[in-house]
Amino acid sequence: MSSIVLFGPPGAGKGTQAERMIDATGLPQVSTGDMLRAAVKAGTQTGLEAKGFMEAGLLVPDSVIIDLIKERIQEPDAKNGVMFDGFPRTIPQAEALEQITGVTHVIAIEVPDERIVERICGRYSCGACGNVYHDTFNPVPAGGCTCGNWEEKRRADDNEETVSSRLAAYHEQTSPLADWYRSKGIFHPVNGDRAIDDITGDILNALRL
């Protein structure tokens, strides 16, 4: 089993690229952010533990995240590996991941901080299928979402105050992982400050697909 990690700051485009890579890689997208939002909505114990951290733009404790991943990786669709989106985000999470599954590529989508706020504050998605759009850079087609069931949804943590906490958490706790993975020879940086299609092309090249 071999997995891929999509790495980068909040709003870098990890989810956008993951969606486009599902067919090419044959791997399911595993987004810890999506899993946590589902848990909050369902009111599970995990959701109750995570809610306050997410609303404040802080990282959810490692133990909660690692348990979620251990459970998710048991699902039948994960038998050939998965595409992690937003995980791991700390060294302890990366160390736990090493015990759970092999990682062949860490794709780092690099975007300067000044671009992040406009990306996050303009984001919305289709409540029916989860496709991600942007007010300016990637608007929903005139006839609604490609899934045919358009319902606009915006995230509670997509506001300027929370973005600065999320960026601080990224720089303090997550960015050290870049050197950690670079030393393992599986780190592939991609310039994420370009058109969405160009970035997809670079990721496919890095994966040799």
Chain contacts with ligand AP5 (rule: CB under 6 A): 8, 10-16, 32-33, 36, 53-54, 57-60, 65, 86-87, 89, 93, 119-120, 122-123, 132-134, 137-138, 166, 192, 196, 199
Tell me if residue 72 is catalytic: no
Q: How far apart are CA 145 and CA 129, in angstroms?
A: 9
115 is catalytic: no
| Annotated catalytic residue within 20, 51, 115, 155 | 155
Nearest CB to ligand AP5, comparing residues 53 and 150: 53
Q: In this structure, are residues 164 and 58 in contact, taking their beta carbons and an 8 Å threshold?
A: no
The set of residues, in sequence order, having a beta carbon less than 8 Å from that of 40 and lying 6+ positions away, is 47, 48, 50, 51, 54
CB of 87 vs ligand AP5, minimal distance in Å: 4
Taking the complex as a whole, the smallest distance from the CB of residue 65 to ligand AP5 amounts, in Å, to 4
Closest CB to ligand AP5 among residues 158, 186: 158
- Between the CA of residue 1 and those of 6, 37, 68, 127, 182, what are the distances in Å? 17, 27, 18, 32, 21
Residue 60 neighbours by CB under 8 Å, 6+ apart: 32, 36, 49, 50, 53, 54
The nearest distance, CB 37 to ligand AP5, in angstroms, is 7
**Alpha-carbon separation of residue 146 from 125, 141, 200 (angstroms):** 12, 7, 19
Residue 138 vs 159, nearer CB to ligand AP5: 138
Catalytic residue among 14, 37, 72, 119: 14
The DSSP code sequence of 40-74 is HHHT-HHHHHHHHHHHHTPPPPHHHHHHHHHHHTT
Catalytic residue among 37, 72, 119, 123: 123
CA distance 52 to 128: 25
* Minimal distance, residue 166 CB to ligand AP5, in Å: 5
Tell the smallest beta-carbon distance from residue 51 to ligand AP5 (Å).
Answer: 9
The nearer residue to ligand AP5, 36 or 82, going by C-beta atoms, is 36
Q: Give 58 or 129: the residue with its C-beta nearer to ligand AP5.
A: 58
When CB distances to ligand AP5 are compared, the closest residue is 33
* Residue 154 annotated in active site: no
Whether 123 is a known active-site residue: answer yes
Rg (CA), the chain: 16
Give catalytic residue positions.
Answer: 14, 89, 123, 155, 166
